[in-house]
Amino acid sequence: MAAPAPAAAAPANGALRGLPPPIFDGDRTKSAGFLLAFRLYKFTNRGHEAMTNPATRTTTALSYIAGPLVEAWKEEQLTLLERNIAANVPEGNEAHWTTFETNFNSSTASCSSTTTTGSRVVAFSHPIAHVSPV
């Protein structure tokens, strides 16, 4: 039986490996796919600081969310993260990531499946969840 292949070395320049998730633009039919793609990207880069630090992981995920329907929501999530860190919630607190995932899932679930024009692309709602210092 052959020995398992060693894990691929991280690029020498510190770049992330693998296929990054597609840009999420607010199309709620693609929200689960976005989170799955990011989960795969996170696992591929599980030893990289961008994924091991929950605050940095959150901003990395936010960098793949773009478009007029989600910009206000993205800004709100970044502001929430900044406030929590300013309130002495450690960057390494996993609650930063949990809060992002909860807010993302709540926003996509709270959207109606269609708008008056029949579009499945809708503006995100703005739930607020705060992180308690540990």
Is residue 58 situated within a structural domain?
A: yes
pLDDT at 7 over 70: no
Is residue 36 situated within a structural domain?
A: yes
Q: How many domains does the chain have?
A: 1
Which domain, by its residues, includes 44? 28-110
If DSSP codes are grouped into helix, strand and coil, which group holds residue 109? Answer: helix
Is residue 34 situated within a structural domain?
A: yes
pLDDT at 108 over 70: yes
Is residue 78 situated within a structural domain?
A: yes
Is residue 119 situated within a structural domain?
A: no
51-71 confidence digits (pLDDT tens): 999 999 999 999 999 999 999
pLDDT at 117 over 70: no
pLDDT at 11 over 80: no
Q: What is the largest CA-CA distance in the chain?
A: 60
What is the CA 53 to chain-centroid distance, rounded? 13
Is residue 102 situated within a structural domain?
A: yes
Bridge partners of 27? 121
125, amino acid identity: S
Phi, psi of 14 (to 5 degrees): 85, 5
